[in-house]
Chain A
Amino acid sequence: MNKKKAQTALMIAAAAIFAAAAAVSVYQLRRTKPNTVKIISDGKVLYTLDLSRESDREIIVEYEGRRNVIVIENHDIYVREADCPDHTCIKMGKLSQSSTQIVCLPNKLMIRRAYSSEESGTDGTA
């Protein structure tokens, strides 16, 4: 019956999506992480930092009056305080332990590693 075939095909498709997503997730978690980190607010790169050379300090980023207090500590980076309602950015903890990047969706803030494959010159701040 046609319906049965369609169901089997859908089941295989679902399994394939799950397997592919799991494989890419594992790859992302395990690939070597560059030291260069970008702080992006509302799509604009505000800072490009080499964490291995940064000394401890605080960076405050504002978006429409809402603040995120970003802390650089022991060559690691995290969000300590934020005005966002969900505080996911704080709960994500340090970048070294985070899955890929630190994001504050309400404040449109993003702290991410600069993988060399993505280093197209569109957002270069020296």
Chain B
Amino acid sequence: MAQRKRESGGSASELTRLSLLTAMALIIFIVEQQVPFPLPIPGAKLGLANIITVYAVNRCRSGGVLLLVLARIFLGSLFGGAFLSPAMIFSLAGGLLCLAGMLPLRKILDEKHIWLGSIFGAVLHNTGQIIAAVFVMKTAAVIGYYPFLLVIGCIAGAFTGLTAQIIINRLK
């Protein structure tokens, strides 16, 4: 069977695609920041920008995806006035751990199971957030939020992953 194609073509076209994806991820990220999440749990959100990340994971090379995620986190917190704040450190730790799981998983998962990779991405994102929070808050007590974040993360990850999966399969 043919693998999902991951264009390795011209670096200029790859760069254009990445900047477009970054712009989209940023817009989603910033709009989502304006809409408060209904549950008062710090760090909990739908993470709609993850749709773009999952798309990129399945369509771009690893280096490109890493660039995309880093750009979204740095520019997103710069625009949101949270540059170098704890929130940015949590995003960074979560985002990197999430990629460390989703990038290898794309080799195992076929185009009907992209949502599954997204769930693991979300779980790893929450794990990274909590580890960073333990260090920033200087107390292990924040681990109390971990199970709540995981429940929300699994649901949100499945939702954003399924959305990305539908887009990826339509744009074949």
Contacts and interface: CB of A to CB of B under 8 A. Distances in A.
Contacts of B151: 18, 21-22, 25
A112 B119 contact: no
B138 A14 contact: no
Given A10-B108, A14-B119, 16 more contacts: A7-B108, A10-B109, A14-B116, A14-B154, A18-B150, A18-B154, A21-B146, A24-B147, A42-B138, A43-B138, A44-B138, A91-B36, A98-B40, A99-B41, A103-B42, A105-B136
Interface string B110-149: 1001001001100100000000010011110110111110
A21 B146 CA distance: 8
Interface of A: 3, 6-7, 10-11, 14, 17-18, 20-22, 24-25, 28, 40, 42-44, 85-86, 88, 91-93, 98-101, 103, 105-106, 108, 110, 112, 118
A7 B113 contact: yes
Nearest to A118: B141
Given A14-B116, A101-B141, A106-B86, A25 B147 contact: yes
A74 to B, nearest CB: 20
B43 A105 contact: yes
Contacts of A112: 141, 144
A17 B154 contact: yes
B111 to A, nearest CB: 12
Nearest to B133: A105
B54 to A, nearest CB: 15
A64 to B, nearest CB: 12
Interface of B: 36, 40-43, 81-82, 85-87, 90, 105, 108-110, 113, 116, 119-120, 123, 133, 136-139, 141-142, 144-148, 150-151, 154
A99 B151 CA distance: 13
Most chain A CB neighbours (cut-off 10 Å) among B41, B42, B90, B119: B42
A17 B138 contact: no
- Residue of A3, A18, A24 with most partner-chain B CB within 10 A: A18
Contacts of A105: 42-43, 86-87, 90, 133, 136-137
Contact of A21 (B86, B108, B113, B150): B150
A7 B148 contact: no
Nearest to B90: A105
Contacts of A103: 42, 137, 142, 145
